[in-house]
Amino acid sequence: MAKPTQNVDCEAVFVYSEDQLGYRFSETHPFNQKRLTLTVDLLEKVNALSKKQIVTPRIATDEELALAHDTRYIDAVKRASLPDCKSEEFEAYGIGTEDTPLFVGMHEASARLVGSTLTAVDYVMEGKAKHALNIGGGLHHGFRGKASGFCVYNDSSVAIRYMQEKYNARVLYIDTDAHHGDGVQWCFYDDPTVCTISIHETGRYLFPGTGSITERGSGEGYGTSFNFPIDAFTEDESFIDIYRTAFREIVEHFKPDVILTQNGADAHYFDPLTHLYGSIEIYKEIPKLAHELAHEFCDGKWIGVGGGGYDIWRVVPRAWSLLWLEMSNQQIPKGPLPSDWIERWQEESPVPLVSTWEDPSPLYEAIPRKVEITEKNRQMLEKALYIIRNEKKLTT
């Protein structure tokens, strides 16, 4: 069991350096770390991020990467990082593909994102901060011996193993990316000391196609994997209801030492790769409950990472700024975004920027199947939580 944190030096740290921008596939690839620059600039323009709060990340060592990855895979990524190598030689490892193409320096850039999350972990687990955020992380599709879905190394899987080995911690991982958090789930599928929760668009039509409610863990880990596949076109009310109900009941059941949140920002209506109808309101609610539960159950220990998010202009900077503002106990702003932020980035943006912290109204036309979708999601929630609700009923 992790030791209680005492005499914490500060409320929250923001793990970031411009070196994180080196994780870059191509000019046209949808995974674009320019979103980090846009977010940091927005936070600085509203005086919500000081130099004192920013922590420079380190690069993960090979031994640390091997906590969640095969050494043969790590060696392959290193070879694939060199100039002039051939993509076809690495396709068995999931790299050199259309989704996860090669780029020079891939190993170092990927290991830096893992090291960034480990930096966040050490700050929280050593009591230097209550909370820590690495928006450069959240690469949840990476597998033990294979890259997948834009993700080379899985920083969250490495970080969880790291917390188990170094801090003897019982970890709860919650993933609100629109895509199923498959890489993290399968890494800990038979481990009873790690609980994984994923709330995502159903895999019927969306990558990676997994994340059914019947994926509950195996062996000693049975009952520690939870999936909430929501229907396409799900709106705020249903999403937030599932999130709040599931997160609280599972935390109460599992009793973690620390919470790790993956904060993909691709459940928004504007996102070009998914089919959910979330608004910016869900990105206020998601960190709010994580913050609340971390203090209620984990002595405040909360580590956040980024994730997906492919509307880098209108959604991600606002969503991840709201995450940091909640984590660092700052007031959630309303009204216009800073005019100098709009003026700086509008010229580069291919779409008109949203000029306020709120979304335009109306954001979209009314959904004719809203009642049906909400009811379907509610029934899914009941089935997914049956295992712990039934256990609770039997013990009371």
pLDDT in the model for residue 5: 45
Over residues 260-289, the mean pLDDT reads 98
Q: Does 8 or 87 have the greater pLDDT score? A: 87
Contact present, 293 and 247 (Cβ < 8 Å): yes
Asked whether residue 3 carries a pLDDT value surpassing 50, the answer given is no
Over residues 350-364, the mean pLDDT reads 98
pLDDT band at 396 (very low <50, low <70, confident <90, very high): confident
CA distance 78 to 73: 9
pLDDT band at 9 (very low <50, low <70, confident <90, very high): low
Asked whether residue 32 carries a pLDDT value surpassing 90, the answer given is yes
Which residues neighbour 204 within 8 Å (Cβ) at sequence distance 6 or greater? none
* Residue-wise pLDDT tens digits, 285-336: 999 999 999 999 999 999 999 999 999 999 999 999 999 999 999 999 999 9
Give me the amino acid identity at 41.
D
* Residue-wise pLDDT tens digits, 79-123: 999 998 988 999 999 999 999 999 999 999 999 999 999 999 999
Contact present, 200 and 181 (Cβ < 8 Å): yes
pLDDT in the model for residue 18: 98
pLDDT in the model for residue 316: 98
CA distance 105 to 359: 38
CB contact burial 119-142 (16+ within 10 A = b; e otherwise): bbbbbbbebbbbbbbbbbbbbbbb
Over residues 59-73, the mean pLDDT reads 98
**Half-sphere CA count of 276, side-chain side, radius 13 A:** 33
- Supply the pTM of this predicted model: 0.96
Contact present, 113 and 153 (Cβ < 8 Å): yes
**What are 133's two structure tokens?**
């955020």
pLDDT in the model for residue 4: 45
Asked whether residue 8 carries a pLDDT value surpassing 80, the answer given is no
Return the active site residues. 141
pLDDT in the model for residue 6: 47
DSSP code of residue 132: E
Mean pLDDT of the chain: 96
* Residue-wise pLDDT tens digits, 208-257: 999 999 999 999 999 999 999 999 999 999 999 999 999 999 999 999 99
| Partner residues linked to 226 by β-bridges | 197
Over residues 342-356, the mean pLDDT reads 98
Asked whether residue 10 carries a pLDDT value surpassing 90, the answer given is no
**What are 222's two structure tokens?**
């049975």
Contact present, 298 and 125 (Cβ < 8 Å): no
